[in-house]
Structure formats: structure tokens, C-alpha cells
Structure 1
Amino acid sequence: MTTPTTPTTPTTPATPTTPATPVATATSAAVAAAVPPRPRLARWLLRLHRPALYVWAGLVTVLAAASLTLWGSLADAAARGWRQYNACSIESPTCSYDQDAILLYKDVYGYSTLALTALPFLLAAWAGGSLVGRDMENGTAQLTWAQAVSPARWLTAKLAVPAAAVSVGASLLSVLHRLAWSASRGRIDTADNWHDTWTFHANGPTTVAFALCGLAAGALAGLLLRRTLPALVLGVLSTAALWGLAQSAMPYLWPADTDVNSLGAGYPGGGLEVDSGLVTSSGAHIADPGCGPSQFRGCTEVYERLDATGFYTTYHPASHYWPLQLTTTALVLAMTGLLVAAAFLVLRRGTGTARAGTGLVSGTARSRTEVSRVNSAVIGGLPRTVLRLHRAALLFWGAFVVAVIGWLKWVTEVTAASVRAIDVENCDPVHDMCSVPYAAYQYSEGIGYAGWLVCYSFLAVATFAGGALIGRELENGTAQLAWTQGVTPTRWLAAKLAVPAVVLTLGGTVLVAAFRWGWEANPDWMTGDGWAFADVFVARGPATVAYSLCALAVGTLTALALRRTLPALGVSFAVMWLLNLVLEHLRDAFWPTVTRTSAQRIVLPNNVWQVKEGHNADGYYATFHPASHFWPLHLVETGIVLAVATAATFAAFALLRRRTA
């Protein structure tokens, strides 16, 4: 038997002497192929934010259609109705006019103008929340910067693409709105003047400038705070502040004209007023004591003591419209440029830490915070956790209630005292026009502001419920984490609804009581805010609380359905606004009206809600709600809103049960 031989080690082949250039070339080509191409940011942004693009296109389409209708058929019908109304007289045996056409024109014009005015604030909310804030909070921006996209290029695309879409759409809407407004001039008696605040901006390029300013303010807020909802709020508030600053500066951006009238003729007028008062014999301008023309008893002596010779008014005539528009546009664009420069500066200072892993660190910190919150929910109880988690919203709600009460206290005491002082010093209520002086109008206006805030506070509740209360926790996974820590989904949602509901009910009840006290303190001075006005009607009763609870339920349901913060926030706001709008238009049908007929034209008292008037074969008629119908109408609407709230609550629990089964 032969022993196998040990295999010999093979000889090492000689090292090839071929040149290394082909290998190096292949390696370079492979490396070049491995480097990803520079992404096309414009296309990426359009795909990423295509829901916002669809919403913007839909909004532009709807507002453009509304403006074209106002320019054509609605303006013609309203003008025909006003011609019929102006042809009426007390001696006319027959008189009727198309009141519905007049009111429809007014509503469509008002809502379309309001929508154009709200564009900067909507864009600020979107830019602060979705465009920049969410990317910074979730770490998406830091990930993009690691993919061959510099931070500066990223921000440039983030601003340039929306700015182009906004400029085109807002410019189109502004041109169409001006056409619609021009169609009403000299034909519709209630058409807004050129210097009306909302019409002034909606008719010109300041609409585009404010929209771009809102976009820049929101982007800067997102870069500063790096959190979605706080950036959204800061963007809206900063845009409102800049809007107010530009509006206050606007009358002084172009030289105004000054006209003078005699003491017997009263004030001259005819445009956007900048200043007014008395002129002395030396030509000096002094404050007006508020007496009125010199033919009123006692006013001549007052003016003699002041050495007054006439009234003056400093104002802008209609010919100043375009100079004011262009100078205001330049001012707003300058502020926009400063905001953009500040955004790039903040980005440059923050990108060093961002590239070093800021997104990962912040994400880890958020996860730890979420775990600690969930553990505290198990240990300390859900109600306490909800209060601690949303203590910022609780503090804001408390501050809002205190501020409204403080404002009402100021108006009912300080402003009311000034009204009484004018009555005592300068007026004879029997003979003088100043029995209801201008200060009384200011009093009514101050109470009206408080009523508007109390009435529409439910819109803020809807955004809070859809965004911070439910939507954010579902999007970030905090809710799912809580459900694995001994908290059932039903118990979690019950606490999320019960705790805010108690807080809203208590705060809303206090606000209603405070507003009723302020509104009823001096009813004779409430010249512009009767009980039938939309905001006063809601703010004077339990409908305020009902709308807040309904907004809470609708926001919760929307967030559970969408599971995303910003879409849920926007949809909740829109649904509650639409619900209030529909009920406001149907409100007069919630209780039977009273109809009065007469052979002569009917003059109704000031404290009734006139629904309709006209003339038929039986004579003149007027359909109205007396003041005694307030509570029946109010309670019916409250019941409807609570029914919607109940249905939304049951739907939210049913949807949660299906999603977590």
C-alpha cells in the first residue's frame, strides 16, 4: 500500500507588469457612478407638497369664479334691486325690491374679500408648520442636507417654488377682485369705498406682497423654533404684527391733502382720513372738543374760547390710491426681504450643529420625553397627564379669558365714563346731535370686539384638538406608545376629551357671563351690535360653550381619521367655520317669525331682527323676530350644535375602536 504524497505548495504567479491605468479608470468610474446626482428640488417640492398645491389651486379657482360672478350676474341683480329700492317712497302705493339679490351680493363680496385678506396668515401657518417646521422637527431637513443638497440651496427651493405659485395666484385674484369691485361703483349703494381696509388691499398688489411676507415669516418661524405647531402660531402672530405695522404706516407713505370748512359747514370729507380737528385764527391745528357745527346751541361759545375759525380734514383722495398701494407694497416687500435674509442667517448659524447630528439627538430626546410622559400617565393618572402635557394651551386659554374680562371691564368703566363726561360737558340731549356722541360708537365697537373673540374662539379650539391634542400624538407615535403602557385606547381618548371639555365649559361659561354683563351695562349705546348680530347672538348664551365642545369633538374625529397634524388642523378649522356659516344663514328659520301688514310702509323698532319686507296685494308687510325670540332661537341652535358634537364624539370612539382592534 503506497503512502500518499504530500501535495506541494503551488508557486506564486509572477506579479503582472501591466500598467494600472485601466484599473484606476474603472475605480474612478465606479465611484462617480456611486455618487448620487444632484436632486431636482423644484420637482421634489411639488411632489412633497402636492396636497397644498391642490388646495391652493382649488382656492384660486373658487375665488376667481366668485369674482367673475360678482363682476357679472350678481352685480347686475344687486344693482337692479337697489334701483327698485331707491324708487320706493312712503307715498308709493306699491313698492317691492329684490332684497335677496342685494344680500347675496353683499355676502359673496364680503367672504371673497375676507378670503383674500386671510391669505398671508394661511401661508404663514403653512410655511411655519408644513413647509419648514415639520421638516426641522422630524429631521427630514438634516437628512436632505446629507444627500448632496446644501442647506442654502434647500431653503432657496423651499421659498422660491411656493413664492412663484403664490405670486401668480394672488396676482390673478387681485385683478379679478378689482374688476368685481369696479362693477359696483355707482350702482350698488352699499358697495365698499376704495379706502375700506379690506377692499383697499384686496384690489391691489399689496395682496401679493403680504402673501409673500407671510410665507417668509412662517419659514423664519420654522427655522427658529424647529417645531411644527409653535412655528405655525409664531408665523401667524408675526404676520399679523407686520400687517398691522404696514397698515398703520400706510397713510403716511404719501403726502396727504388738507381741506378746511367753516364752523357752520362741518368737516370736509371725501377719502381716507389721516387727521381732523379745528383750525385757529393763527392757522394752528387743535383737537376738536366734539361739539359739532356752530349752529348747535353752546358750540359758538366753545369755539370762541378756543379761537377756532373752521374745521380741517387731512385725507387722501381717490387719486392717491395707486401711490399708496405702490409705496405700501414696497414697504411690505422690504420687510419680506429682511425676513428672508434673517432666515438664511439663522440657517447658516444652525447648520453646523445640524450636520453633526442635531436631528438624531433631538429625535432621541423627543423619544425619551414621550416615554416619560407615558410612564407618568400610568403612575399619576391620565387627567393629570393631559393637563401637564398641554399646560401651554391651558395657560393660553386662561390668559384669553382674563384678557377678555379685563377688556370688558375697561370698556364698561373707562370708555363709558368718557361718554358720560362728553354728555355732561358739551351736550344738551334734547337739542344737540351729541346726545349719542362718537365716543358711544367707540363703546359699542369695544364691546363688539369682545363679542367677536368670544363667539369665534371655537375656531382656535378646533385647531388645537386637530393639531396638538390628537393629531400630533398619532403622527409621532406617542398615542401608540401609551396604549402599550397599561392605557387602553378608549380610556386614552376619554381623558383627551373629558379634561379639555371641563376646562372649555368653565371658561366659556365665565366668558358668556362677562359678555352679557358688558353688553347689557349700557344698552342705549350699543348702536352697531344688536342682539341679532351674528357674533353677539352666539356670545350671549350657551351656544358659545356648545360650539367649543363641538370643535373639540370635530377636531378629535378629524385627527383620528387623518392621523397627521397639519391636515387635521386645517380640516377641523374649515369644518367648524362651515358649520357656523350654515347655521348662521339658517338661524332665522329656527323659530316662527312674526309678520306685520299695513296699508303704509312699516317702520319697525330698532330692537327687532327684520327678516324680510315688501309689498303685495294686501299692502306692505314686514317679517321679523322680536327681541323675545332670542332665547328660543338661541336654544335651538345650541341643541343642533350639541347634537353634532355628540355625533362626532361617538364617531371618534367608533373609529378608534376599528383602528385599534
Structure 2
Amino acid sequence: MSTLTLDPARKTSEEGPQNGRGSWPAAPRLSGTAWLVWRQHRAAFWTIIAFTLLAVTAMVILRGQTMDYLRTLEPTQKRPGGMPPEFDTYGNLIAEVGGYLSYFPVLAGVLLGAPFIAGDLETGTAKLVTSQSVSRLRWLTMKLAMPAALVALSTGVLGAVFNWWWSPVKGFVTQVEWTSGGIFDVTGPMAVAYSLLTFAVGVAVGLLLRRTLVSMVVTLGIVVAIGFVWDELRSRLGHIVSASTDKGVGPGAKQPELPDMAVQQGQGTYFLTSSGDRLDWTTCLDKMDDGKAHTACLESKHVVGWTKEYLPIEQMATMQWLGAGIMLTATAAIVAFIVVWGRKRLL
């Protein structure tokens, strides 16, 4: 059965543009399982659409204000670390909005995914629907496809608009690093992949537990756990780069400078030896009170300079696609489980 059909209720109009048969073109409308899924969950769908439109409108307005402020500055002021203090207001806004958007995957899993099938199993709707001419596979497919498409569209639009706002000023925003969830997870392919993963997790939990409230609580715990794991994994997707000096560490020696927007990794600055080994910054810390003793201690360990490890922002896109690939692969595996389990043990 097609999900789009012509509306027979449309009447021939006597005025306005007409088709070749003298009647208005019929408007497509949903029918069958597509209509049922939309009808069941239209409140949630309209909420997502309304939230997306409001968020996009707000970000467009805020970007306009940010760009208007930048146009008032002199070219010499537009440099990293040299922006006037007034720009902090706009940097804080970007950081706050990015932080809010990073909660979308939680909402997609807990409020949309978990109750989506669990609610039908709990109320008996699933049994009623599948006892008719609708197969379990067809019902499951539509229950997954329609909300997943809406989640992907919503997060894709939000991520694109936020990136449009952040990109022109990313070199000036010091309130948030690009490796944080408020930037990395809400732009590019990550915005879509993360929300689809949590949505699939919520649906799978609801399918197994078959109780709405319990499914939502369990999904929240799993999504939070995924967030903790992802925070640890995110930076490991990139290739760490080192910047070093070999002019000594005594008075007047300068530590290595990092490129703009580079995110320092590890414990900070390490001592570098002549053999290329790294020593922790606590090396000879017990002799810090005596400058000569401290210098002698470092020289005895053949320290010739400092080294720092960092991730350059040029790796951001590659890291995002790699992370999105991991999440989409996990999502595909979960969806396959949902389909196989649902066809055999749905009711």
C-alpha cells in the first residue's frame, strides 16, 4: 500500500488555474501505516518541528547581532586573544547554545525513542495493529523510519545553522574548545549520528522492557553512560601532534607556542630530554625552592627543553566523520536487532 494517495474529497474548482481535465490537482496525503504513525505521535513530531524552528530563528538573530558587532571593530582588533572584553557576551552565547543543543541526543533517546514502541506494547496498540492486514515488519519499519527521518532532519538543520553562526568567529571564542560536546557533537555529521544512535537505543530498550516509564529511566542511564564513554573517546579519534623546544628550560627560555585553536592534550607541558624522552612536569619538583639545585637536577636528567601535545583544528572534520561512522554503525546494528527481535517476539 502506498503511503501517498490522492484526496478524493477535493472538488473541481470553477476559478483559478486548472489541470487538463478541468479540476484542481489533488494534494498528496498520508495513508496506511504512515498516517497511523503520524496520528499517534503527532504531538511529539510537532514539538520537534516547533523546537527546531524556534532554535533556528534564535540562532539566525544571534548570528546577525554577532556579525554586526564584528563590523564595528577595527581590523587590528580582530585577532585571537585580542578581542575587546565586550565580545565575551557573544562568546558566552555561543557556548551556552552549543551546550543546550548537546542535550538533544538525550531527549531523542529518552522522550522520543523509549516510549515510541514501549507505549504501543503497554497499551495493546501494537497487538491491535499487527492483527489487521499490517505485518510486523511493515509496522516496525514505519515506526522507525518516520521519527528517524525527522530526528535526522532536525539535528542536521540545527547543526548547520549553529556551525554557520560559530564558524566566522571560532578563532575568537575562548569560552569553549572545539573538542567539547557543545561544538564537536552539535556540528557536522556528529549532530545527526549521535541523535540517531540514542533514538535507536531508546527504541530497543522500549521493545525489550515493554513499559514506558521504566524504558525511559533505563534509556536515560544508558544514554548518560554513552556520553561518559564518548567524552573519553572523542579526543582519541585524532592524531596528536607535538610542539617542542630544545633551547633549555632556564630563565628566559620560552615554552613552545601552539597554533590558534589547538587543544592541548595530556597533563600539560612535559620536559624534553636530549634523547627525545618526555619527563613529567613534576620532575625535580622537590628542588623548586632552590633555583640552582633545580637547574642542576634537570641537567642531570639531560633536559633540553619542553614539549606539548595538542590536536589542531584542521583535524576536526576528519574526527567528526570517524566518530559519526562509529555511531552510525552502532545504530545500524541496533536497528537490525530491533527488526529481528520485533518480527519474532513483538507480542
> Taking structure 1 as reference, are residues 228 and 61 closer, same or farther at Cα in structure 2, changes over 3 Å only?
same
Q: State, as a whole percentage, how many aligned pairs show the same letter.
A: 25
Q: Offset at 1:60?
A: 0.5
**Counterpart position of 2:68:** 76
- 1:154 pairs with one of 123, 128, 139: 139
- 1:338 matched to 2:343? The reply is no
> Taking structure 1 as reference, are residues 147 and 332 closer, same or farther at Cα in structure 2, changes over 3 Å only?
same
CA–CA distance in structure 1, aligned partners of residues 62 and 205 of structure 2 = 37
CA–CA distance in structure 2, aligned partners of residues 108 and 273 of structure 1 = 24
CA–CA distance in structure 2, aligned partners of residues 171 and 144 of structure 1 = 32
**Counterpart position of 2:42:** 50
> Taking structure 1 as reference, are residues 58 and 283 closer, same or farther at Cα in structure 2, changes over 3 Å only?
same
> Taking structure 1 as reference, are residues 228 and 266 closer, same or farther at Cα in structure 2, changes over 3 Å only?
same
- 1:326 pairs with one of 321, 341, 347: 321
CA–CA distance in structure 2, aligned partners of residues 132 and 68 of structure 1 = 35
Gaps of at least 5 residues in structure 1 are 1-38, 87-96, 355-661
CA–CA distance in structure 1, aligned partners of residues 255 and 289 of structure 2 = 10
- 2:263 pairs with one of 262, 272, 283: 272
**Counterpart position of 2:235:** 251
Residues 6-85 of structure 1: pairs in structure 2 closer than 5 A: 40-77=32-69, 80=72
- 1:309 matched to 2:298? The reply is no
- 1:137 pairs with one of 95, 98, 122: 122
**Counterpart position of 2:26:** none
1:434-463: per-residue Cα shift (whole Å, max 9, x none)? xxxxxxxxxxxxxxxxxxxxxxxxxxxxxx
Residues 132-531 of structure 1: pairs in structure 2 closer than 5 A: 132-185=117-170, 188=172, 190=174, 192-262=176-246, 263=249, 264-270=253-259, 271-275=262-266, 277-289=270-282, 297=291, 299-351=294-346, 354=347
CA–CA distance in structure 2, aligned partners of residues 114 and 42 of structure 1 = 34
CA–CA distance in structure 2, aligned partners of residues 311 and 319 of structure 1 = 24
Q: Offset at 1:341?
A: 2.2
The question of whether the paired residues in 2 share the 8 Å contact of 1:185 and 1:191 is answered with no
The question of whether the paired residues in 2 share the 8 Å contact of 1:214 and 1:236 is answered with no
1:55 alignment partner AA: T
> Taking structure 1 as reference, are residues 185 and 273 closer, same or farther at Cα in structure 2, changes over 3 Å only?
closer
The question of whether the paired residues in 2 share the 8 Å contact of 1:194 and 1:318 is answered with yes
SS for the counterpart of 1:315 is: strand
Q: Offset at 1:295?
A: 12
SS for the counterpart of 1:202 is: coil
CA–CA distance in structure 2, aligned partners of residues 238 and 218 of structure 1 = 9
Q: Offset at 1:250?
A: 2.6
CA–CA distance in structure 2, aligned partners of residues 252 and 191 of structure 1 = 22
The question of whether the paired residues in 2 share the 8 Å contact of 1:254 and 1:327 is answered with no
| Structure 2 length-normalised TM | 0.75
1:541-599: per-residue Cα shift (whole Å, max 9, x none)? xxxxxxxxxxxxxxxxxxxxxxxxxxxxxxxxxxxxxxxxxxxxxxxxxxxxxxxxxxx
**Counterpart position of 1:442:** none
Gaps of at least 5 residues in structure 2 are 1-30, 78-83
SS for the counterpart of 1:195 is: coil
The question of whether the paired residues in 1 share the 8 Å contact of 2:92 and 2:175 is answered with no
1:226 alignment partner AA: R
> Taking structure 1 as reference, are residues 279 and 227 closer, same or farther at Cα in structure 2, changes over 3 Å only?
same
CA RMSD of superposed structures (Å): 3.0
Q: Offset at 1:340?
A: 1.5
Number of residue equivalences: 298
CA–CA distance in structure 2, aligned partners of residues 242 and 256 of structure 1 = 23
SS for the counterpart of 2:132 is: coil
> Taking structure 1 as reference, are residues 336 and 295 closer, same or farther at Cα in structure 2, changes over 3 Å only?
farther
The question of whether the paired residues in 1 share the 8 Å contact of 2:245 and 2:306 is answered with yes
> Taking structure 1 as reference, are residues 261 and 42 closer, same or farther at Cα in structure 2, changes over 3 Å only?
farther
2:128 alignment partner AA: L
The question of whether the paired residues in 1 share the 8 Å contact of 2:110 and 2:202 is answered with yes
**Counterpart position of 1:123:** 108
The question of whether the paired residues in 2 share the 8 Å contact of 1:66 and 1:108 is answered with no
The question of whether the paired residues in 2 share the 8 Å contact of 1:155 and 1:344 is answered with yes
> Taking structure 1 as reference, are residues 79 and 184 closer, same or farther at Cα in structure 2, changes over 3 Å only?
farther
Q: Which structure is larger by alpha-carbon Rg, 1 or 2?
A: 1
CA–CA distance in structure 1, aligned partners of residues 271 and 216 of structure 2 = 47
Q: Offset at 1:266?
A: 2.6
The question of whether the paired residues in 1 share the 8 Å contact of 2:241 and 2:310 is answered with yes
1:266 alignment partner AA: Q
Q: Offset at 1:243?
A: 3.1
